[in-house]
Amino acid sequence: MIKQYLLSPGPTPIPNEVALAMAETMIHHRTPQFNKVFDEAREGLKKLFATKNDVLMLAASGTGAMEASVANLFSPGEKVLVINGGKFGERWFNIANAFGLNPIELKVEWGRAVNVADVERQLKAHPDIQGVMIQASETSTTVLHPVKEIAKLTKNGPLFLVDGVTAVGVVPLPLDEWGIDVLVTGSQKALMLPPGLGFIALSDRAWEKTKTAKLPRFYFDLNLERKNQQKGSGAFTPAVSLIFGVRASLEMIQREGLVNVYARHDRLCRATRAAAKALGLKLLAPDSPSPAATGIYLPEGIDADAVLEYLRDKMNVVLAEGQDQLKGKAIRIAHIGYMGGFDVITAIAALEMALRKFGAEIPLGRGVAAAQEVLLEALP
């Protein structure tokens, strides 16, 4: 048997401790025994989101949590500003359209973070905007957007909705302190779980807005969910085994300490970027990188998708592809969740070898050495 190395931005590797927690004997979800597990997971999520309010667990993906936020906060025809700098910015736009909102699109060049001044100009030009939607970490372009700065613009204005799917547990996003109104994430990223859970937290003023919002919702009725989750279960059948995993994952994060978790992600990002630069490879996000994943352009004339296929099928190293206009040109190396320095070393070493196989004049070991120099910081 040959070990597989999973370095995609989701799903991400699952620690044994979490896998074993999910393998617990199934129990009924309307019992005191499950209520205890559920409540402990809820309290851990509040710490992760840095909020006094409830963090709801939905049996859905992160996209389900995004849809839930739109369905619960707006009414037909309301205007929203969508910051679109990648595939997941497009997703906010598509959800807003699907629910009959009037989305104003602020397009951002792929690989660049949004300019805060451009957001401010749009808000002044459209004073009737009711919501601003953004990705904290745009996974498709590996860009980190300036959430804290934009939150200052929306503090007394439109609601601020943040897709934190590859950012929660990777970078600080303190909901209460920064004035974020909606923060969502998914289980299969930094929380080190299988896909299947979406998480969503709302500010006080966002909860107030749910009382007047007129869009239809049933399964994603957040007020109904909050009422039931405060009693230790869900409005409908929750993903019982995954919630056992949530509790275990949050315990691991708390043991490491959130400050250390954020520092680890930053270090892995810097190591990966140092390796790419040492190999003469161009970075997809040169100025505002996400610590969740690093996008790298491969040399001219080399099919990135063919390299990824070779890495996956011949070397058992799974990286992620470039999307849309980046397809065949770029790859993405994830360093999110249950990953450490030697995962990055493996990815870089494998990439060097694969590029050599495809005819690139890559000096073996140069990228690995550059990554090691950064990773030495963590050693005593």
Who contacts 236 (Cβ-Cβ below 8 Å, separation ≥6)?
Answer: 59, 219
* pLDDT tier at 285, thresholds 50, 70, 90: very high
CATH number of domain containing 183:
3.40.640.10
pLDDT tens-digit map of 205-222: 999 999 999 999 999 999
Share the mean pLDDT of the chain. Answer: 97
- Whether residue 311 sits in one domain with residue 202: no
CA dihedral (337, 341, 347, 351) positive or negative: positive
The pLDDT, as a whole number, for residue 1 is 54
Residues 6+ apart with CB under 8 A from 94: none
Q: Is there a single domain that holds both residue 59 and residue 119?
A: yes
For the chain, the C-alpha Rg in angstroms (whole number) is 21
Residue 76, domain extent: 16-255
Boundary residue ending a domain (239, 255, 271): 255
Q: 74 and 49 in one domain? A: yes
The answer to the question of residue 10 being in a domain is no
Pair 346, 361 in one domain: yes
Residues 162 and 272 in one domain: no
Average pLDDT on 32-52 reads: 98
Asked whether the predicted pLDDT for residue 108 surpasses 70, the reply is yes
CA distances from 25 to 34, 176, 240, 251, 326 (A): 12, 37, 10, 20, 44
Same-domain pairing of 308 and 366: yes
Which amino acid is it at 251?
E
In a domain? residue 281:
yes
Helix (H) or strand (E) holding 293: strand 293-297
pLDDT in tens, 314-334: 999 999 999 999 999 999 999
282 token code pair: 């161009």
DSSP string, 163-181: E-TTTBTTB---HHHHT-S
Q: For residue 25, what is the DSSP state?
A: P
151 and 110 housed in the same domain: yes
One domain, residues 244 and 265: no
In-domain check, residue 29: yes
Whether pLDDT at 64 is above 90: yes
For residue 2, the model assigns a pLDDT of 79
Please indicate, yes or no, if residue 69 is contained in any of the structural domains. Answer: yes
Percent of the chain whose pLDDT exceeds 70: 100
Distance CA 326, CA 329 (A): 5
SS (H, E, C) the chain: CCCCEECCCCCCCCCHHHHHHHCCCCCCCCCHHHHHHHHHHHHHHHHHHCCCCCEEEECCCHHHHHHHHHHHHCCCCCEEEEEECCHHHHHHHHHHHHCCCEEEEEECCCCCCCCHHHHHHHHHHCCCEEEEEEECEECCCCEECCHHHHHHHHCCCCEEEEECCCCECCECCCHHHHCCCEEEEECCCCCCCCCCCEEEEECHHHHHHHCCCCCCCCCCCHHHHHHHHCCCCCCCCCCHHHHHHHHHHHHHHHHHCHHHHHHHHHHHHHHHHHHHHHCCCCECCCCCECCCEEEEECCCCCCHHHHHHHHHHHHCEECEECCHHHCCCEEEEECCCCCCHHHHHHHHHHHHHHHHHCCCCCCCCHHHHHHHHHHHHHCC
Residues 158-186 have pLDDT tens digits of 999 999 999 999 999 999 999 999 999 99
* Total domains present in the chain: 2
pLDDT digits (tens, 9 = 90+) for 231-265: 999 999 999 999 999 999 999 999 999 999 999 99
* Residue that is last in its domain, among 255, 273, 299: 255
234 and 299 assigned to the same domain: no
Of 255, 287, 307, which residue constitutes the final position of a domain?
Answer: 255
Q: pTM to 2 decimals?
A: 0.97
What's the CATH number where 316 sits? 3.90.1150.10
Stretch 94-123: mean pLDDT:
98
Return the pLDDT at 27. Answer: 96
| 99 lies in the same domain as 183 | yes
The answer as to whether 1 is a domain residue is: no
Residue 349: which H helix or E strand, with range? helix 341-357
In a domain, 163, yes or no: yes
The answer to whether residues 230 and 301 belong to one domain is no
Task: Identify whether 199 is part of a domain.
Answer: yes
Residues 240 and 324 in one domain: no
- Give, as one character, the DSSP assignment of residue 298: P
Asked if residue 11 belongs to a domain, the reply is no
